[in-house]
Every structure is written in C-alpha cells, then in structure tokens.
Amino acid sequence: MKQNFIIEAKNNLPSLLKAQQLPVILDFWAPWCGPCQQLNPVLETLAKAYAGKIQIIKINIDDNQVGVNEYSIKSIPNLIFINAQKERTIALVGYQTLEALKQKVKETFGLNE
C-alpha cells in the first residue's frame, strides 16, 4: 500500500487543513514553473524523512484560486508552514534545498527526522 506523503489539494484546501492534526507545509506551485519542478523531488524526500510528523499539501495555483487568494500568493514556488494549532508561521519563496527545509522544519515545528 502506497503511503500519501504528499497530498494534492483540489478545491478542498480548507477541509484538508481542518482535518490535519500534524504541522503542514503548503506548496503553492504550477506545472509550467521550472523552480517548482526542481523543488518536487526535494519535497518528496522531505515528506518521507518526516513521515508521520508533518504533512505536505500541494496546491496547483492554476486550479485553486481560493487558496491563492486566501494566502496572498504572488510568487511561486511558495511554501507556507502552518503549525498544529493551524497558525501560519513562515513563508519561503523560491527554490529551497533539502538542508534548508530541514532546518526550517526544526526551527518552526521543533522536529528532527
């Protein structure tokens, strides 16, 4: 059985967030965005490293204007960290390395692999 390390949000972002009990990283992206495509394998590795500790939710900006407007997304890739209390903590814009993301997960959520 394949585990869902990363969830793709369609028009259900509010319900996905409400259902989450773990800290969440929202990944606002688009298929035509080169840096977004480069970030995909980094996020997959991060999701596996923190399986059961964080949830990554991908939001295609072309298909989800509600999420784009709600979070005032102006540039992509855009990663928004939301803690377990559903509070927005930080946003990172642009490509991020795996090491940088692990450091942000540690700083923001207090989690190690």
- From the candidates 7, 36, 68, 105, which is the catalytic residue? 36
- Asked about 46 being catalytic, the answer comes back as no
Residues 6+ apart with CB under 8 A from 19: none
- Asked about 36 being catalytic, the answer comes back as yes
CA distances from 18 to 6, 22, 30, 44 (A): 16, 10, 24, 22
Distance CA 70, CA 22 (A): 21
- From the candidates 17, 22, 30, 33, which is the catalytic residue? 33
Kindly list the catalytic residues: 33, 36
